[in-house]
Amino acid sequence: MARPLSRAYTCTFGAPVIAEVDPRIFQLTYFAACMDCTFCSDACCQYGADTELPRVAALEKFQPELEAYLGVPRSEWFREDPEDFGTLDEPEYPGGRYTRTQVVDLPEGRSEHNEWACVFLDPAGRGCRIHRFALERGIDVHTIKPMVCLLFPASFDKGVLCPAYEFDLEDELVCQGPGPTIYRASRDDIRWYFGDDMIAELDAMEPEYAGQPAIPGGRAIPLPTVP
């Protein structure tokens, strides 16, 4: 059950506004060291991702360079075609509207988990090419990468900071299991979007849930030691 925060916290982009937290973010764990993972093949990117329209516009500022970097024309980055996904209203997303990243076939052997993935995923190596593009150029990745991707596997729904829905689907997240909690792994990004005050409140709440399994009868997870 969601727990109210002392006040609402507004994302630096103006939305979402978080007023409650699902304590399972302090309990559920996953591998988390994404680029060191030898078994996931970036399976979490297989369906693409919701992308707020301000991030679409931010990526367009790099269009010629990014098209060359990806080898993919701008017209194939997103599912904006109304016959496909289109662009939809969503007040919880920055800018109030969003689309989804395009999904493409993966080369044979790229992943043992799925045959397709987000167009921005590296089809040969590992990882998100928007993320790498930003890192290589000294761009703050938060300004060009979809918010849901950076918060993952934390997420938000109707003002509640919560686990991504994959945690509610059996065997959907291949890296679920031993590792840090969702909160510990996403804490820096939560701070970037929502600020120090929200982190201070969540930090104070976190020990109450340490060692408690998120699923009744499940394995207790100790509070990780993170500076």
Q: Is 154 in the site for ligand SF4 (CB under 6 A)?
A: no
Structure tokens at 130: 């928007």
Span near ligand SF4 by CB under 6 A; candidates 62-70, 89-97, 114-122, 212-220? 114-122
Site string for ligand SF4, 50-89 (x = CB under 6 A): ----------------------------------------
What does each C-alpha distance from 25 to 117, 153, 156, 185, 216 come to in angstroms?
A: 26, 9, 11, 10, 15
Site string for ligand SF4, 7-46 (x = CB under 6 A): -----------------------xx--x--x--x-xxxx-
Which residues lie closer than 8 Å to 153 by C-beta, 6 or more apart? 28, 30, 44, 163, 164, 166, 167, 173, 182, 185, 186
Of the candidates 95, 85, 82, the residue with the CA atom closest to the CA atom of residue 147: 95
Q: Is 120 in the site for ligand SF4 (CB under 6 A)?
A: yes
Q: Is 147 in the site for ligand SF4 (CB under 6 A)?
A: no
Q: Which of residues 179-208 bind ligand SF4 (CB under 6 A)?
A: none
Q: Is 149 in the site for ligand SF4 (CB under 6 A)?
A: yes
Span near ligand SF4 by CB under 6 A; candidates 18-26, 53-61, 120-128, 218-226? 120-128
User: Hey, is 177 helix, strand or coil?
Assistant: strand
Q: Is 49 in the site for ligand SF4 (CB under 6 A)?
A: yes
Using CA atoms, how far apart are residues 169 and 211, in angstroms rounded to an integer? 23
Q: Is 121 exposed, middle or buried (0-12, 13-18, 19+ CB in 10 A)?
A: buried
Q: Is 121 in the site for ligand SF4 (CB under 6 A)?
A: yes
Q: Which residue in this structure is represented by tokens 């679409």? A: 56
Tell which one of 53, 59, 130, 190 touches ligand SF4 (CB under 6 A): 130
Tell which one of 101, 102, 111, 155 touches ligand SF4 (CB under 6 A): 101
Pairing of strands 160-163, 17-21: parallel
In the complex with ligand SF4, the residue whose CB is nearer, 53 or 130, is 130
Do 143 and 151 meet the contact criterion of CB atoms below 8 Å apart? no
Using CA atoms, how far apart are residues 92 and 4, in angstroms rounded to an integer? 18
Q: Is 174 in the site for ligand SF4 (CB under 6 A)?
A: yes
In the complex with ligand SF4, the residue whose CB is nearer, 101 or 160, is 101
Binding footprint of ligand SF4 on the chain (CB under 6 A): 30-31, 34, 37, 40, 42-45, 48-49, 101, 118, 120-121, 128, 130, 146, 149, 174-175
